[in-house]
Amino acid sequence: MIFNRLRIGCFGLSILITQACAANAGKPTEQPEEETVRFANTEQDHRPSFSTILTIFKRAMFEKRSNIKPDVALVQALEKEALAALDDEGLYLIKLGHSSLLLKVYGEYWLIDPVFGERASPVSFAGPKRFEPPAISLQDLPAIDKVFLSHNHYDHLDKGSIEFLARRAALFLVPLGVDQQIMDMGVPAQRIQTFNWWDEQPFAKAKVVFTPTQHFSGRTPWDSNETLWGSWTLLFAEVKVFFSGDSGYFGGFKEIGEKYGPFDITLMENGAYDKNWPAVHMFPEQTVQAHIDLQGKVLIPIHNSTFDLAFHPWDEPLNEVRRISQQKGVSLRLPAFGEIVDLRKPIIADNQ
Ligand SMILES: [Zn+2]
Ligand SMILES: [Zn+2]
């Protein structure tokens, strides 16, 4: 029982640890030498009051909850042979679980926020446990060309996965400050490229941009906001993709849309929202609005159906996003974990 409660307790902890942070206003800026560098959001920072912290813990311990996890299998196995057989000139995307994605783009394999561990937690015995294994195992992955990280929370940066990929993946693209953390996990410095917001990196057939979000970072109570957080804008000649990472709703989505949109696909955070942390995760109507702000054409929700990280039922994010998309005339696609989505083909929305 206590361990069950700790599922959310751990997430609550991650929600709370920025409380002690004295962040800079405005864009991420560095403080004078010797002082710890801390990053800040452009509009609203996450600084819960003491009473909010108390409320979250009380709710984690005593709130009556139902429909916490699915009673049906949501993951279909992704065979390595099926991946290998995909056209080397194509653009494919596969949801592996939570916000973890595998892309095969022009023959290269890209991983985003790879979390293959059993728990999104600093410890192996407690914390949010995944409902099902990821669609493919680490061992079955092909050689990875690029790993993208959005921020350092446990449901996005998994130590075991990074340790496994450390010498197998050619390049890690990470927010400022996360470089040191993955070096500690065994990634050689020469394989890491760090990004500030709006930093662009052109490659042979794509350009990637690290774009802002409204969120926070930290893996312990002592490192709040010492590393940057953000989203990834992936611009291919034929297709534009936006990956939200974690974010509250803010004006940055419109700005990104104006700069790089319209996006063919937006992979949008949809899950782990709560009235006690409204600034750093989006409610479903905000997920849909952010997609509209980004000038997205097809919305694919992520950040749900894998870990129990908040107080809402596991399927509420998808039910709500389906209802609101319908209302607003937004094309929604809900691929299963492990399903291969061909990004060059016109994407048939699930709600039309
Ligand atoms: Zn996060
Ligand atoms: Zn997250």
How do strand 296-302 and strand 331-332 relate by DSSP bridges?
parallel
C-alpha angle 134-238-148 in degrees, rounded to nearest 5: 35
Stretch 115-134: mean pLDDT, rounded? 92
- Report whether pLDDT(247) > 70: yes
- Order of strands across the sheet that contains 146-148: 192-195, 171-175, 146-148, 108-112, 100-105, 91-97, 340-342
- Report whether pLDDT(122) > 80: yes
Gap from CA of 100 to ligand 2 centroid (Å)? 10
335 preceded by cis ω (within 30°)? no
Gap from CA of 344 to ligand 1 centroid (Å)? 30
CATH superfamily, with its number, for domain 80-342: Ribonuclease Z/Hydroxyacylglutathione hydrolase-like (3.60.15.10)
- Report whether pLDDT(166) > 80: yes
| Closest ligand to residue 156's CA | 2
Q: What is the pLDDT of residue 352?
A: 62
Stretch 204-227: mean pLDDT, rounded? 96
The DSSP annotation for 145-160 comes to: SEEE----STTT--HH
Gap from CA of 268 to ligand 2 centroid (Å)? 11
Gap from CA of 190 to ligand 1 centroid (Å)? 26
Gap from CA of 204 to ligand 1 centroid (Å)? 31
Over pLDDT 70: what percentage of the chain?
Answer: 90
Q: Using the 8-state DSSP alphabet, how is residue 193 labeled?
A: E
Domain boundaries, the chain: 80-342
Q: What is the pLDDT of residue 46?
A: 86
Per-residue pLDDT band for 125 (boundaries 50, 70, 90) equals confident
* C-alpha–C-alpha distance, residues 20 and 160, integer Å: 28
Gap from CA of 317 to ligand 2 centroid (Å)? 14
Q: What is the pLDDT of residue 275?
A: 96
How do strand 146-148 and strand 100-105 relate by DSSP bridges?
unpaired
Closest by Cα among 180, 160, 161, 40 to 112: 161
Closest by Cα among 83, 49, 78, 70 to 136: 78
Whole-model pTM? Answer: 0.92
Gap from CA of 164 to ligand 1 centroid (Å)? 22
